Amino acid sequence: MCGNSFGDIFKITTFGESHGEAIGCVIDGCPSMLEINEEYIQKELDRRKPGQSNISTPRNEKDKVKILSGVFEGKTTGTPICLLIENENQRSNDYDEIANIFRCGHADFTYQMKYGIRDYRGGGRSSARETACRVACGAVAKKYLQEKLNIEILAYTNSIYSLKCNLDINKITKEQIEKNITRCPDDKINNKMIEIIEEMAKNGNSVGGSVRCLVKNCPVGLGEPVFDKLSAKLAQAMISINATKGFEIGEGFKSSEITGEENNDEFFNENGKIITKTNHCGGILGGISNGQIIDFTTYFKPIATIKKEQHTITKDFKNIDFTISKGRHDPCAVPRAVPVIEAMTAIVLMDFVLKNKRFN
């Protein structure tokens, strides 16, 4: 199976299945002498782990990370870093009922058709549990970017269903985001979001939404021409996350509905600092960061596992009406996706920083 690695210089490879013995990752290309430990990585993993609140899956995984290599006396050595997370709370029997059935909205059908075999226990490799590995890798990248370049990555729940955060992005803080279980910094909207998610869960249904991500203090010059544009790599990274269905940067789709005069960001020299009064481009011009806030949004579909009767087919291609009765699933992926978005952003930026020697 290809497609398990991401990045060119700061390269990550993830491995493992949802209901296997463990999941993990290998980071290659991380510079030496970066201070890192399990406790720091664990803080990021705790933001993603299941069972955080009554609006997430009840699966109880501690997601305790172990550093197996690449770190000595609290510092990276420049050699591959291997991180391992053991699976502790599998209930694989919950998936016996779908062993011979293709679930609607899942990767069951496509994996079976492509490989002739699939791990039906929680989706195996296609499970969102794999994203814990990304968060672990992202923790290392975030620490480097923060310490070396003062780059801050801030993601939050922008919308759930038809409810949308209405706060000024320049005033949103990490504390506001993390105090709410939806990870929406808007207190009024947060409460309404909880009600929607709880209603969906009660009815055996699910709901989607979006995560907005802001990158502050990003220097000018990250990104390469044509095929390796910063915006292109960010789009690839975000769309590779489970349940994602859309990506837009800056004004995004709205820019197709306005004029060039409205969409262009005018430059100003403000006491020797080049700024733009607006940021319709989302901080990227020609695929290269322009020094303004990088601003993009990723859209998530509703979780595919719902407790509603739906029509599907068996492995023998027989028609069947089927209702999923077991398993532990989030009624909404968005709150737990926030740290995953931050992690993938950090991994992309880290790779570009290392490609551009003047930043490292």
Alpha helices, DSSP H, located in the chain: 38-48, 108-115, 131-149, 174-178, 187-202, 230-239, 260-263, 334-355
Report which residue type is found at 271: N
The CA-CA-CA angle for residues 335, 150, 70, to 5°, reads 80
**Tokens 């990585």 appear where?**
41
On the question of pLDDT at 90 being above 60, the answer is: no
Which residues make Cβ contacts (< 8 Å) with residue 247, sequence separation at least 6?
234, 235, 238, 239, 296, 297, 298, 299
Cβ atoms of 271 and 175 within 8 Å: the answer is no
Closest to 72 measured CA to CA, from 36, 26, 24: 36
d(CA 85, CA 71): 16
Radius of gyration of the chain (CA): 21
Report which residue type is found at 174: K
pLDDT attached to residue 92: 58
On the question of pLDDT at 1 being above 70, the answer is: no
pLDDT attached to residue 181: 94
On the question of pLDDT at 108 being above 60, the answer is: yes
3-state secondary structure 209-221: EEEEEEEECCCCC
Which two tokens mark 49? 């782990």
pLDDT attached to residue 327: 63
C-alpha torsion sign, points 131, 137, 139, 142: negative
Which two tokens mark 186? 């808007």
CA atoms within 13 A of residue 312's CA, in its CB half-sphere: 18
Q: pLDDT confidence of 173, banded at 50, 70, 90?
A: very high
Closest to 340 measured CA to CA, from 120, 45, 21: 45
Q: pLDDT confidence of 224, banded at 50, 70, 90?
A: very high
For residue 302, what is the DSSP state? P
Burial zone of 116 (CB within 10 Å; 0-12 exposed, 13-18 middle, 19+ buried): exposed
**DSSP SS3 for 101:** strand
- For the chain, what is the mean pLDDT? 93
d(CA 292, CA 230): 14
Length of the chain: 360
Q: Which domains does the chain have, with CATH numbers?
A: 5-359 (3.60.150.10)
On the question of pLDDT at 149 being above 70, the answer is: yes
How many other C-beta atoms can be found within 10 angstroms of the C-beta atom of residue 161?
17
Between 2 and 356, name the one with better pLDDT: 356
On the question of pLDDT at 260 being above 90, the answer is: yes
The CA-CA-CA angle for residues 149, 151, 155, to 5°, reads 165
Between 219 and 50, name the one with better pLDDT: 219
Report which residue type is found at 138: G
Average pLDDT over residues 31-38: 97
Which residues make Cβ contacts (< 8 Å) with residue 253, sequence separation at least 6?
none
Closest to 3 measured CA to CA, from 111, 104, 149: 111
Write b or e for each residue in 223-241: b if 16 or more Cβ atoms lie within 10 A of its Cβ, otherwise e.
bbeeeebbbbbbbebbeeb
Closest to 48 measured CA to CA, from 63, 27, 36, 66: 63
Average pLDDT over residues 155-166: 97
Average pLDDT over residues 176-185: 96
Which two tokens mark 200? 């969906």
Between 262 and 54, name the one with better pLDDT: 262
